[in-house]
Chain A
Amino acid sequence: MKAMLTLKVNGRELSGEAPNNMHLGDFLRHVLGLTGTHIGCEHGVCGSCTVIVDGQPVRACLMLARQAQGATIETVEGLAHDGQLSVLQAAFRNHHALQCGFCTPGMLMTLTAFLRDVPNPSEEAIREAISGNICRCTGYQGIVEAALAVATPQEASTS
């Protein structure tokens, strides 16, 4: 009923026991203690639980923990380095892209993956990229502005 899993999470090898029916979001949160990944709907719509699995943004509530055996996972806890926010995180702060902060980890991970693929997107493309993430607080505008700021080279260097 349970399996011992080893994953590479934010550059570190971590192991933990997962029941067969446990999804990746619960495994990260409650077995590995990485509570930055949030569970908002558990039916794959709100995007709060988005993490990056082997380079691709994934809804952690729709993937069983066992499916992630051996995978390389990035979560919100891995974005900042040496106490320095990532460029995108800093832009979120500067553009008031978060209020309650609950959807924020999912937004950050979705956009982090997206901006690696499309470093200079249009506003429309950014809105499309986060079209699977619900934010009830901001009305999305601050989030879009933050992503645009990162995408614009001159502002990115000052964030």
Chain B
Amino acid sequence: MSARYFGASVARSEDARLLTGQGLYVDDIEMPGLLHVAFVRSPMAHARIKSIDLASARAMPGVVAAYTMGDFADLAEGPMPPMAPHPLIKEPLTCHPLAQTEVCYVGEAIAMVVAQDRALAESAAMAVMVDLQELPGVADARAALATDSAPVHLGRDSNLLASLHTKFGDVAAAFAAADHSLTESFATHRGGCHAMECRGVVATYDQREDHLSIYTSSQAPFMVRRHLATYLARDEQTIRVAAPDVGGGFGPKATVYPEEFAVALGALKLGQPLKWIEDRQEHFVATNQQRDQFWTLDVAFTKTGKILGLKGHGIHDSGAYAPYGLILPGNALVCFPGPYALQAIDIHLDVALTNLVPTSPVRGASRPNVAFILERIIDKVARYLGLSRDAVRAASFVRASQMPYFTGGVSRDGSRVSYDSGDYQKALDLALEKIGAADFATRQRAALKRGKLLGLGLASCVEDTGIGPFEGASLRITPKGKLVIATGAAAQGQGHATVLAQIAADELAMDMADITVEAGDTGRFPLGLSTVGSRIAVTAGSSVHVAAQKLRSKALHFASLKLEVSADDLELSEGAVQVKGVPGLKIPLADIARALAGTTGVPLPGGMEPDLAATAYFESSGVTFAYGSNACEVEIDAETGDTRVTRYVVVHDCGRMINPMIVEGQIRGGVVHGIGNALFERMLHDEQGQPLTTTYGEYLLPMACEMPNIEIHHLETPSPRNPLGVKGAGEAGTIPAAPCVISAIENALEAQLGKAAPFITHHPVSPLDVVDWLDDAQ
């Protein structure tokens, strides 16, 4: 393989369209007869639905229809199918497309109105009379598990959805052997995804062909098709689901949503195309969030700072339903023990139902929460022993010589967790060097003269990426000699069209301009799973590589028959197969494609299979573990508590990089998301479950003025687990960012307050927290 494109920061194929306003997002889709949907949503966190009266809404001008779930009884009934069934979930805990008898969170859809335009639909939705009998609800996951808590769902006797457990080694022996142990409790909070494009659905039903077509702003169009087909008892072949341009995903768009089903049901019922575009207000109450995990852990360690064991227990807020099964809490347990070689762990996690919008992964998916806890524990042990934070990490890291390293834990697929490759210590050393840890004290003293408290933060992490079983790809040369790559893997800004073309272009010696990528459309590729867990470079990337090799062999075989030359003496060059060293003797790929397209009555040469095309489903042979260390500096204004991240260094290893520019974009965006989790993003509800932060004036996202430039240094340890040597990079920035920033805040306070400095156990940290800590200590 000539590496012309692989490894180069090639400008993205997607950009010209997106820069000129020619993108096609769901709300850009227009079609004749398109009608608009608005939903009636619950204003209460928990209530019994006594009645729904649609008469006034139906009578309003421009209103075409109004529906409750009962109106769809001829098409489907019951709760939506679970996306990820789990043996611990005994009864289905998914919602109905439209709630029928009970609502369990503010924002749950109850009815829908279809009108000539959205404004009319919204006005009519306000005229729907819903009689609700308010029921006691619970908004805090800890309170939900109390024996006297109100039930989140009527008829359930407990709000405990499941108790998860992970253990390896002999934890009692690890604690017995330790010189020290201590206990800490943590509250980690993550908000929502806040993709700049809210969700949206367009559904059309063609009665003559009995075919349902859906455009949705989704990370998982194939999952939408699968579950909708199940729900409607239709064959998958009668449903097409496509994700067009999607304006950001970040996790929550990987869930199949009630609105997708309700809009599809409406289109089937009316036989007219329907569009629903979520507005930002709805996004705050109806799109999955991640929110809270609470943890209490005991850590055992030696006097030299080597962590030996961890035990303890956590509580995870599932929200009112479990549309994504137990994947989000389950991920948390897989994330222990992070980059550290521990003798033993024994950790429980209780999954609590609450009367809040459901949770599902947000960028990082529990990994940032666990990284926060582990990194905080490391910092705590350092303080306790009077050692440096890097010394405790150094004493505890998995070493390069131990790779592949079996942690002792078990993956989601039941296999033993093994870290494939890398040098964790080297990443930390480089991060310390690049941030200038050696002369940090000088900068800290200088800052103090300006009245600013300067702190240095550190955090390390591993990230399991590239989970299987597959994302496939098919490659086909068109009669014009162009290459079309089709894959199930939908994109939401990650640059799949560019990186997949880079891989194929090298293998087939083609120009990237001659390659197009069709992704995330069930009408163009038979199977797909979803774009989650930093998995597409590994899965779809490897499939493109394998398919390109097959296609190359086929082209060479055809040419060897035609030119009567051994395939070993042939090569691909500039869209043709040529005899090595004889550029004049060649057959263009276009000619081969036309020949293999066949002519009636004429046999194909040498009994070859038709079509110059190849398909591959690379089967992942094990999770690839990316890793890294981050270091940052924060500057705190002691008067106001204003906390700025002034410098940020990332050392990261995601194996071989297909496109370093895109990798760096993923990391930078991820870090900024993590800084948001450290300092700004807080989704608040009152005790009754009423959301309190439902505008961008109340829920703060990271903005340009507050964000630092992020300096990135790469290590490139090829993964042995796929032919490209790649690992995922989509979440690596987010995972260590919050603990890194919090570590820096604590470091700044420690310099000022000494032993009176707080040990910080929660995020986000607000200016008010900082001022309180400074005041309390003085």
Binding site for B on A (CB under 8 A): 19, 21-22, 29-30, 33-43, 45-46, 48, 75-77, 79-80, 85, 89, 92-94, 96, 98-105, 108, 126-128, 130-131, 133-144
Contacts and interface: CB of A to CB of B under 8 A. Distances in A.
10 contacts: A35-B25, A36-B22, A36-B23, A40-B196, A99-B248, A100-B246, A136-B701, A139-B670, A139-B672, A139-B733
A101 B20 contact: no
Contacts, number: 170
Contacts of B25: 35, 38, 102
A137 B245 CA distance: 14
Contacts of B733: 139
Given A93-B19, A105-B21, 11 more contacts: A22-B119, A30-B30, A35-B25, A35-B27, A85-B20, A92-B15, A93-B12, A93-B15, A99-B493, A137-B248, A144-B704
A137 B196 CA distance: 9
B707 interface: yes
Interface in B702-732: 702-705, 707, 709-710
B16 A103 contact: no
A102 B196 contact: yes
Interface of B is mostly: loop
A52 to B, nearest CB: 13
Given A76-B20, A139-B671, A141-B668, A100 B196 contact: yes
A131 B704 contact: yes
Interface in B677-712: 695-697, 701-705, 707, 709-710
Interface string B184-213: 000000000111111000000000000000
Given A34-B21, A38-B197, A29 B16 contact: no
A134 B196 contact: yes
Interface residues of B, number: 58
B671 A128 contact: no
Contact of B247 (A29, A38, A79, A130): A38
B279 A42 contact: yes
Contacts of B387: none
B19 A38 contact: no
Most buried by A among B12, B21, B703: B21
B21 A96 contact: no
A109 to B, nearest CB: 10
Most buried by B among A33, A41, A102, A126: A102
Contacts of A36: 20-23
Contact of A29 (B27, B662, B665): B27
B695 A43 contact: yes
A92 B19 contact: yes
Given A40-B196, A100-B248, A101-B14, A131 B705 contact: yes
B246 to A, nearest CB: 7
A54 B16 CA distance: 26
Nearest to A92: B19
B139 to A, nearest CB: 24
A37 to B, nearest CB: 7
A142 B14 CA distance: 16
A140 B279 CA distance: 24
Nearest to B709: A141
Contacts of A96: 12, 661-662, 664-665
Closest 3 CB pairs of A and B: A36-B21, A102-B247, A100-B493
Interface in B20-35: 20-23, 25, 27-28, 30
Nearest to B193: A136
A142 B18 contact: no
A108 B20 CA distance: 10
A79 to B, nearest CB: 7
Contacts of A102: 23, 25, 195-197, 247-248
Contacts of A140: 672, 703-704, 707
A140 B248 CA distance: 15
A39 B18 CA distance: 15
Nearest to B666: A99
Most buried by A among B17, B281, B661, B696: B696
A31 to B, nearest CB: 11
Nearest to B19: A89
B672 A101 contact: no
B48 interface: no
A40 B280 contact: yes
B245 A101 contact: yes
Contacts of A104: 18-19
A99 B665 contact: yes
Given A45-B695, A136-B194, A77 B20 contact: yes
Nearest to A100: B493
A147 B709 CA distance: 14
Contacts of B194: 134, 136
A35 B709 contact: no
B11 interface: yes
A144 B30 CA distance: 34
Interface string B475-514: 0000000000000000011110000000000000000000
A19 B61 CA distance: 14
Most buried by A among B11, B20, B494, B705: B20
B717 to A, nearest CB: 24
Contacts of B196: 38, 40, 46, 48, 100, 102-103, 134-137
B625 interface: no
Contacts of B767: none
Contact of B703 (A39, A43, A131): A131
B615 to A, nearest CB: 28
A128 B706 CA distance: 10
